[in-house]
Amino acid sequence: MVEPLRGKKTSLREIASTDGPALFRIVGDDRVTKFMSFDSRSREVAQKSVDDVVERSKARPRTEYYLAITCAGDDELIGTCRIAYSGMQAAKLGYMVAADYWGNGYATDAVSVMLDFAFRELDLHRVTAAIGPANPASQAVVKRLGFSREGVLRDHVFTNGTWRDSVLFSLLRHEWVKS
Ligand SMILES: CC(C)(COP(=O)(O)OP(=O)(O)OC[C@H]1O[C@@H](n2cnc3c(N)ncnc32)[C@H](O)[C@@H]1OP(=O)(O)O)[C@@H](O)C(=O)NCCC(=O)NCCS
């Protein structure tokens, strides 16, 4: 178990089975999932995905860190931030924030905390993020944190009824500067 990781505006903590309803408010919301690689999920599927995350968090060696984003000083899940190992000292980054909380700098703060954990504690060398071409908010988050655009992954995901490209961004360990 990872001890809570604290940022300026947010904290990251391990997801618990009781986070199902809070996660459903995010993954069941079309405003959020239209940018994700999956369609909106039912309450039952959201709970199952939380239970699966809890189960995977027990794997040793660990394959991912799928953490809850909370506002600093609060325990309620308002988003998630995940890194999943993908190759030698490399990981894929993903995140989402409940629509009612957008525009407060929460994602930037939470991803910054996760990157610090990834490069300093997990000793990763490379972190990538694959983001939809029509997702300027998410692209703004990674650009602000120093990621470089690598190129386009064509028809990368099938989501919301159609194939969608992704723009691939990456950040290397020596490029990471915590603000
Ligand atoms: C992407 C997401 C996580 C951002 O969360 P957030 O807490 O609102 O993010 P922040 O407030 O930290 O930063 C948002 C940035 O996007 C910018 N932004 C927001 N809407 C924008 C738009 N339509 N066009 C351009 N920039 C935009 C903001 O100005 C801000 O950038 P800045 O800090 O440089 O000014 C959130 O919008 C979300 O959950 N979207 C749906 C899921 C998703 O896209 N996940 C990522 C998949 S790769």
pLDDT tens-digit series, residues 86-99:
999 999 999 999 99
pTM flag (> 0.95): yes
Quick one: pLDDT at residue 79? 98
Residue whose pair of structure tokens reads 């504690």 in the numeric block: 121
Backbone angles phi, psi at 28, to 5 degrees: -100, 10
pLDDT at 107: 98
Tens-place pLDDT, residues 9-66? 999 999 999 999 999 999 999 999 999 989 999 999 999 999 999 999 999 999 999 9
| CB distance 109 to 10 below 8 Å | yes
> Which of 36, 96, 112, 127 gets mutated to test ligand 1 (max ligand atoms within 8 A of its CB)?
96
Q: State how far the Cα of 111 lies from the Cα of 53, in Å rounded to an integer.
A: 19
C-alpha span between 69 and 18 (Å, rounded): 14
User: Residue 128 Cα, ligand 1 centroid: separation in angstroms?
Assistant: 17
Which residues span the domain enclosing 103? 5-175
Mean pLDDT of 137-160: 97
Closest CA to 7 of 84, 100, 94, 117: 117
pLDDT at 160 over 90: no
Which residue lies with its CA nearest to atom 45 of ligand 1? 96
Q: What's the CATH number where 15 sits?
A: 3.40.630.30
CB contact at 8 A, 176 and 119:
yes
Q: How many domains does the chain have?
A: 1
Ligand 1 neighbourhood includes 95 CB (under 6 angstroms) = yes
> What is the percentage of the chain residues whose pLDDT exceeds 90?
96
